[in-house]
Amino acid sequence: MTNYILNGILGLAVGDALGYAAQGKTREILKFAPVLEMKRGLWSDDTSLTLCTLASLRENDWRLNYVDLMERFSKWLEYGYMTPEGTVFDVGATTQRALQNYTGGAPLEQCAPRNQWNCGNGSLMRILPIEFYLQARPEADRYESIRNVSALTHAHICCTLGCYLYCAVASEIIAHRDLFKLATLLIRGVNRAVTELAQVADADDVSELHYYSRVIDHSVYDLPESEIESSGYIVDTLEAALWCLANTNSYRECLLWAVNLGDDADTVAAVAGSLAGVYYGYDSIPHEWLAGLKNMETIVRVCG
């Protein structure tokens, strides 16, 4: 499992840092001045919150402790815990509100906003360590674990379902990386998730899968770039990441496609980079990108 952890987390962190240079830029601007190499190497909240999640699992003997997770997230926001330079410089509004509610004394289950306007990608970007945890857990634990961890900051069902689809794809890559091409693994993972959700989730929850219709019917992979959005909306982020993964043939190519979509480029690249890292492996990540990554020793230490 350790190799998958290191591959996935470094793949995510490099994508986050590479994409940060393109965050907020339009696709049109990036066509003329694309990001091709690592700039400052600073990773943002995507990597920091992922490391908080992984550290919590490892330091609690691979048991889920929701209070510990929120304590670490709050420590990140207040004190720069698990940041490249001891400073927080990118915070999602929904995550910030949930953590402020938590430090203000709200019960854990009431911290996260629950309306449809709070369906950002803030739980998707940090959920990967939960899949590593679930590798050794019964299948019956998957839905509850993913839902509860997402709902610490993002409680809307759309966020739960996006995280579940993503984790199922990660699981499929881990289990069958040597047997199938990546595009096939993406389809298998999504199909598996839909089948499992029909068995373990409430019917009302399953009905909300319509948000991800283009992922579930696999039409997203054949869309032109003009129909792929790269906003901070969780559906857009997942679609964009899967589209990049399915239409490229290496870690480098995948990440450059993801980054140069623009808008919320760091998170799209982090999500795509995590799965590309698991599939292609550590050696596929360009050496110069790894060399430019700030505070890589912290990332490696947390990965164990």
Residue (of 61, 201, 84, 191) closest to 140 by Cα position: 201
CA 192 to chain centre: 19
* DSSP-derived secondary structure letter, 21: T
pLDDT tens digits, one per residue of 189-246: 999 999 999 999 999 999 999 999 999 999 999 999 999 999 999 999 999 999 999 9
Q: For residue 157, what are the CA distances in angstroms to 119, 134, 151, 282? A: 9, 20, 9, 33
pLDDT, mean over the chain: 96
What is the torsional sign of CA 145, 147, 150, 153? negative
Q: How many other C-beta atoms can be found within 10 angstroms of the C-beta atom of residue 237? A: 28
Percent of the chain with pLDDT over 90: 93
If pLDDT is split at 50, 70 and 90, which confidence band does 138 have? confident
Q: How far apart are CA 197 and CA 205, in angstroms?
A: 9
Q: How far apart are CA 230 and CA 239, in angstroms?
A: 8
Q: How far apart are CA 29 and CA 231, in angstroms?
A: 16
Q: For residue 208, what are the CA distances in angstroms to 45, 145, 201, 216? A: 27, 19, 11, 12
End-to-end CA distance of the chain: 11
- Is residue 40 classed as helix, strand or coil in its secondary structure? coil
Q: In the chain, what are the domain boundaries? A: 2-303
State residue 2's pLDDT score. Answer: 55
pLDDT tens digits, one per residue of 165-195: 999 999 999 999 999 999 999 999 999 999 9
Q: How many other C-beta atoms can be found within 10 angstroms of the C-beta atom of residue 25? A: 18
* DSSP-derived secondary structure letter, 141: G
pLDDT tens digits, one per residue of 48-95: 999 999 999 999 999 999 999 999 999 999 999 999 999 998 899 999
149-177: b (≥16 Cβ within 10 Å) or e: bbbbbbbbbbbbbbbbbbbbbbbbbbeeb
Q: How far apart are CA 181 and CA 133, in angstroms?
A: 25
Instruction: With a cut of 90, say whether residue 98 has pLDDT above it.
Output: yes
Which residues touch 63 (CB under 8 Å, ≥6 apart)? 57
Q: For domain 2-303, give its CATH number from 1.10.4080.10, 1.10.10.60, 1.10.3720.10, 3.20.20.10.
A: 1.10.4080.10
If pLDDT is split at 50, 70 and 90, which confidence band does 295 have? very high
Q: How far apart are CA 21 and CA 272, in angstroms?
A: 16
If pLDDT is split at 50, 70 and 90, which confidence band does 117 have? confident
